[in-house]
Every structure is written in structure tokens, then in C-alpha cells.
Amino acid sequence: MRKFLYLLFTLALIAALITYALWTTDRPTGHYLSDLRINLAVDQGTPADRGNLLGIQPELFPTDYQSPERLHRKLAAYLQTARDLGFLNAKTVVVLPEHIGTWLMVGGEKDELYQATTLKEAMNWLAISNPLAFIRALASAQGDNRLDDAYLRMKAERMAHDYQALFGGLAKEFGITLVAGSIVLPEPSVSEGELKIGRGALYNSSLVFGSDGRPIGQPQRQRHPVFEQRDVLGANHPTVPQVIDTPAGRLGVLIGSDSWYPLHYRQLNDQGAQLIAVPAFIIGRDTWDKPWSGYKGLSTPSEVSLKPGEVSEGQAWHRLTLTGQLPISQARGGVSVFLRGQFWDSGSAGQSFISHDGQHFPDGEARGARLLNLWL
């Protein structure tokens, strides 16, 4: 009898493991509806032959990331609207927001993940649906928050491939230079024209694609991750921001709060930067109007007199993002673009703006997909 019960238990366990294994491989594609509309928010300057800087503030949701094809469809619709309005040409530099590539981590998952009510629940589904990848990532995780590190690391190779295929493909399809927001990857680098990952720390990085669809230069890593991310993301303090030659001029990229540091603008000045792109992302639906919380655990630059709580988050971004404010920045213009949308219970904030000749030209609307154009 004991042997029979043991055999029965073993068979049941095997059946359960087989069922679980089959369940993890099942990836049904649910019904998908998405708003492909985008509105023109800012059009500054006069058309000429010097090109333009075009910020795209998308409105994205988890289901937009269910496959690269879905995300392509939405972003291509935005770019097609820009083309119809006459904003795309061979000298156009398009800027997308911070972390637009990071959410590729949830691509190709089960419906239960997209239907989750909280980000924590969604990440649980991510781990349960990819047990072997999650265990391998957890074993190699670094930093103080190994769980979040594992979530970001477990599909990094696929994320890097999809990021280059998607955003490089869009740059080639529309014949533009594309600042592809940012993506979190372990030790990213470009080798022989391909975005590769390493085994080291995670970095929030941005890559620029030329009109031939290929990367220009190396990924620009964020130098000062905000306080909430520092237990997961590495900081790239020693590296000077790189400047990239584009048909519209020499371009520098400052990711998120890296745009708050006067030193970075001086370093870009030394390299002759004429344009500055700031891909940005702010968590929390109403954060833009709440009191600014300062440099969040990092030392305040000596040139900055602004104190935490003195102004709102939005006012601080306008004060600290110094594009076009001589002599700190000698760039002709810049654009700060925020990622908008809803990722489970994690809302977003931020109103994108153009910087030109020491002035900011903001988008007055908080929500929705928006175009912001600056003729150079």
C-alpha cells in the first residue's frame, strides 16, 4: 500500500510539472485596441534647411508591449502623423522618452500579466511564467535589490535585440535620426553594429539610430540615477557625455535627472554640442505639481540654489534643464520628452517642453500623445 501511494504521488507530481511546463509555454494573444492618435502641442520656429528637433510624448500601456509589432504599430502611427504635418525630413532628429525600451521586459507574456491590477502582481506573473530564466537571473543578480535586478535582467538579451530591431527599424523606415529613449540592460555596448549585453551592473542607457537603422556611437549611460533606482541601477560617473554628429548638428543626450547638472552642459559645450535631447520619466500621476524633493540623496551642485520644496516638480525641471541658457549651455536648442501612460497601478507625470534661446515652450496638457517640434 505504501509503495502504491508513493507511486501515485510521484505520478501526480510529474503530471503537475508537465502541466506547469506546458502552461508556461502558452502565450495566447488577447484582443487589442489602442489609440493611435497624437496631437501637435508645440511648433516653434520657422521651417528652413537646417532640420528640426521633434519630441514625441507617447501614451503607452502594458498591452502595447505584448509584441514588438504592436509597439511598432503605435509608434509608426505617431511618426506618420508627424510626416503628414511636414515635420519629417533627412535632417530631423526625433526624441523618445526615458524607459520606453525598458518595458520590453513584459513582451510576449501571458494574458494574466497584462490583466494584473498592480505592478507587483504583474512581476509575479513574469517570474512564474519564466521560471528557468528568472532563477538564472536571480542567481546572477547584483545590488541591494536582487529581486528587481532579476526582473530586469532575465530577458535582457531578447530586450536588446527587440530594442535595436524596433527603433533602428523605425529610424530607417522614416529616414530620420532617432534618439530611442532609454532601456535598462546589463553592461550594454555596441559591437560591429549590434547592441550587446554583458554580465555586469544594470545601466539605464540611451542609443541613437541613424537613418540607415544602425546605431551611432555607444549607448549613453545615465550618470545619476534617481534615489529610488540606485539600489538597482549602476551610475556611470567617470564618463563624459558623448556627442554624436547628426545631419541637424552635434547632439548630446542627458537621461532624466542627468539634465539637472550644470557640469554636464559644460562638458557638452566643450565638445561643441548644438542640440540636447532629454528623455525623461516621472513616476506618480500627480508628481508634476507636487513639491520638488531635491536631488534625492545626491549632493546638490554648488551652482544650484534651488532648495527642496521651494518649487513644484515641474517648475524644477524648467529651472534645472538648462538647454539654451548661456553661458551654462551653448546649444541651439533641446527637447525634454516624458513617457506618459499607465503601467498597472504605476501612473506617470511630466509635461514635455522645447528649449530654445533661453526660453521654454511647454505643452500645456498633462495627458495624451503629443508632438513638440523645434525648427533649427
What's the pLDDT tens digit per position in 230-250?
Answer: 555 766 666 788 999 999 999
pLDDT in tens, 168-201: 999 999 999 999 999 999 999 999 999 999 988 8
pLDDT band at 306 (very low <50, low <70, confident <90, very high): confident
List of E strands, the chain: 39-44, 52-57, 59-60, 92-95, 177-179, 183-186, 189-191, 194-196, 202-209, 215-221, 243-246, 249-253, 275-280, 282-283, 333-338, 340-341, 348-349, 353-356, 359-362, 370-375
Q: Are 130 and 106 in contact (CB under 8 A)?
A: no
Mean pLDDT (whole number) for 51-74? 95
pLDDT band at 227 (very low <50, low <70, confident <90, very high): very low
For the chain, first and last CA: distance in Å? 85
Among 279, 372, 361, 376, CA closest to 54: 372
Give percent above pLDDT 70 in the chain.
86
pLDDT band at 144 (very low <50, low <70, confident <90, very high): confident
Tell me the C-alpha distance between 268 and 306, whole Å: 23
Tell me the C-alpha distance between 350 and 285, whole Å: 9
Domain ranges of the chain: 31-107+155-375
Which three three-digit cell numbers place residue 110? 501571458
Residue 337: per-residue pLDDT = 96
- CATH superfamily label, 31-107+155-375: Carbon-nitrogen hydrolase (3.60.110.10)
Residue 302: per-residue pLDDT = 81
Tell me the C-alpha distance between 57 and 365, whole Å: 11
Burial 39-51 (b: 16+ CB within 10 A, else e): eebbbbbeeeeeb
List of E strands, 202-339: 202-209, 215-221, 243-246, 249-253, 275-280, 282-283, 333-338
Tell me the C-alpha distance between 335 and 218, whole Å: 21
Residue 48 has pLDDT above 60, yes or no: yes
Give percent above pLDDT 90 in the chain.
62
**Burial class, 83, CB count within 10 angstroms (exposed 0-12 / middle 13-18 / buried 19+):** middle
pLDDT band at 16 (very low <50, low <70, confident <90, very high): very low
pLDDT band at 360 (very low <50, low <70, confident <90, very high): confident
Q: Are 335 and 355 in contact (CB under 8 A)?
A: yes
pTM for this structure? 0.89
pLDDT in tens, 276-300: 999 999 988 889 999 998 887 567 8
CA distances for 175 relative to 108, 160, 211, 247, 279, angstroms: 28, 22, 5, 11, 21
pLDDT in tens, 76-115: 999 999 999 999 999 999 999 999 999 999 999 989 999 9
Mean pLDDT of the chain: 87
C-alpha angle with apex 130: 126 to 197, nearest 5 degrees? 90
Tell me the C-alpha distance between 245 and 248, whole Å: 8
Return the number of other C-beta atoms located less than 10 Å from residue 98's C-beta. Answer: 25
